[in-house]
Amino acid sequence: MSIIAHPLLLPNYYTKTFDGKLTFPGVPYIKSYYEYIDLNQDKDLQKNVTMYFYDELINKWIPNDKNFKKFKGKKLLYTKDGLQLMYKILLKLVTKGDTKWWDLRDPQYILTKDYIFYQISKFFRNK
């Protein structure tokens, strides 16, 4: 495509050839690319969810739930090892259950509570 125009009126992205003809740059090809943050890999989210369920276990479920009362005398649950056990249980649920960390609290609370009970029972049965 050739257009003859006054050189002072040309924007700087047009170029003139040696024979005085004007050339236009090609249409740029821009591919849309979206990169989403994988919240499942977020360590702060994992820590917050683990602390939430650990607090639920220690402060709510063991004192008030009849199924969890049998863990009242287990000293391991009240230490850092108990917190690490809770993290491993939740990590196993997320990886094998094909779920997300942020789904454990709200839509899957009952499922998560039952799974924690099952895993802690299994842990202390083997000890």
| d(C-alpha 63, C-alpha 57), whole Å | 9
Contact residues for 101 (Cβ-Cβ < 8 A; gap 6+)? 39, 40, 42, 45, 46, 49, 90, 94
DSSP state of 60: I
* pLDDT tens-digit readout, 81-98: 999 999 999 999 999 988
Q: What is the pLDDT of residue 23?
A: 62
Are 81 and 92 in contact by the 8 Å Cβ rule? The answer is no
* pLDDT tens-digit readout, 51-82: 999 999 999 999 999 999 999 989 999 999 99
Are 71 and 120 in contact by the 8 Å Cβ rule? The answer is yes
Domain residue ranges of the chain, discontinuous segments joined by +? 39-126
